[in-house]
A and B are shown apart, each in its own frame.
Chain A
Amino acid sequence: QKEVEQDPGPLSVPEGAIVSLNCTYSNSAFQYFMWYRQYSRKGPELLMYTYSSGNKEDGRFTAQVDKSSKYISLFIRDSQPSDSATYLCAMSAGSNYQLIWGAGTKLIIKP
């Protein structure tokens, strides 16, 4: 079993829909949780970063962490075609700078 599980999709939704992307993990030591966005033929770039449990909001994006369930989510409101990309979750226990990555979910927003 992988330390971080993420459904690879693809997930296809119409423009304007609310999107929910999720990851589960097994290591209770993880404290730092990140979402990276990767456009086709580009490197990943950091989208959201959360420490420990709780919510964090940035514009149309909301990141949630539920450490009791070992479950993290990324919500995208009013989704746009420009949000079409692969979204990777990543996490760390904090003892070093090594990140443990999910497989990435390919998201397609249909105009």
Chain B
Amino acid sequence: DAGVIQSPRHEVTEMGQEVTLRCKPISGHDYLFWYRQTMMRGLELLIYFNNNVPIDDSGMPEDRFSAKMPNASFSTLKIQPSEPRDSAVYFCASSVNSPGPSYEQYFGPGTRLTVT
């Protein structure tokens, strides 16, 4: 398996523009997580899905952020309109609901977003 795939790897955009980040989880994984990482705030969970259904979006900073998972192999995180404070590395991770506790999350390479 190729692991979690994210695109684009780097995104530079101007304030006010719409940004869409994409993620393909590992096949067979039924949990998908979107994180944001900054030096100041560390790794923050934004939202997570189970079987394509959003379970907890309390980490989404504001209405400018939205996430969808239309099927088991694809998810998007959209920021509209973008602001300079959204600059961060955005990670997608997936995990599988296996017998017994399993908390290993497999992370993608991240999307480095810069909003100018």
Contact = CB atoms under 8 A, between A and B. Distances in A.
B105 A98 contact: no
Interface in B93-116: 93, 95, 97, 101, 103-110
Interface stretch (A12-20, A40-48, A59-67, A72-80): A40-48
Contacts of B31: 97
Given A97-B31, A101-B43, A103-B42, A34 B109 contact: no
A43 B91 contact: yes
Interface in B33-89: 42-43, 45, 48, 50, 55-56
A43 B107 contact: yes
Contact of A101 (B42, B50, B109): B42
A49 B55 CA distance: 24
Contacts, number: 51
A51 B42 contact: no
Interface residues of B, number: 22
A98 B110 CA distance: 19
Main secondary structure of the interface of B (DSSP, over half): strand
Contacts of A42: 109-110
B105 A99 contact: yes
A30 B97 CA distance: 19
Given A43-B93, A43-B109, A103-B42, A98 B104 contact: no
B43 A32 contact: no
A98 B48 contact: yes
Interface string A2-25: 000000000000000000000000
Nearest to A94: B101
Interface of B: 4, 31, 42-43, 45, 48, 50, 55-56, 91, 93, 95, 97, 101, 103-110
11 contacts: A42-B110, A43-B108, A46-B104, A46-B105, A88-B43, A96-B55, A97-B48, A97-B95, A99-B45, A101-B42, A101-B45
